[in-house]
Amino acid sequence: MKVILFGAPGSGKGTQAPLLSKHLNVATISLGDILREEVKRDSELGREVKGYMEKGALVPDGVVARVIEENVDKEGFILDGYPRNLAQAKNLEEVLQKKGQGIDAFIYFEVDEDTVINRLSKRIVCKKCGALYHLVNMPPAHEGVCDVCQGSLYQRKDDNPTVIKKRLEVFMQESRNVVDFYRDCGKLITVDARKEKDDVFAQIKEKLK
């Protein structure tokens, strides 16, 4: 199965991705992870990506599409963090059509502003492996220490209410066209992402049947 997870920052995509990956027995493709890995490998594509990153510029949609094309698996995948806008959604369709593939489900994590602010303002991240925690809902076993790799935990500078609201506004402006695109394709699945993670996962499994 080929699935896209789509939602605002703090909507819970990162929490649900590994659960769904295990349930469907397919890999999760995270655009951010792929870009970092290409740069680390010092591949031709990685050097191109690094050039944009070093300038502080966004990696162009065309380059991102090539990265995705080289990493999608015909047996199935979960895409997390891509597409982010309508142009990328259309690029993805072109990439998959060339491979004789198509998306089975586009899962939209519907969430309100208060929930996003509550989650992100209390979110902490591992400096070493990137594992996510929540000070209230999902704290680490030992304060300030990652359960996975024992790395140090910190709070991102942009995880404060003022910045979160701005990020959410930007997302909502860009998301409408993407959601409409997959609705028109008959692939849209909406879940109430305000609920606890087990409830959200149960919704996803039920709607994928």
pLDDT in tens, 3-18: 999 999 889 998 899 9
Domains and CATH numbers, the chain: 2-111+167-208 (3.40.50.300)
Q: Which of 2, 13, 119, 194 is labelled catalytic?
A: 13
Residue 84 is among the residues annotated as catalytic for this protein: yes
Residue 13 is among the residues annotated as catalytic for this protein: yes
Strand boundaries in the chain, DSSP class E:
2-7, 27-30, 77-80, 105-110, 123-126, 132-134, 153-154, 188-192
pTM here is 0.80
Residue 194 is among the residues annotated as catalytic for this protein: no
pLDDT in tens, 61-87: 888 888 888 888 778 999 988 898 999
The arithmetic mean of pLDDT across residues 99-111, rounded, is 94
Q: Which of 156, 166, 183, 207 is labelled catalytic?
A: 156
Residue (of 68, 62, 83, 23) closest to 203 by Cα position: 23
User: Encoding tokens for residue 93?
Assistant: 């369709």
Residue 66 is among the residues annotated as catalytic for this protein: no
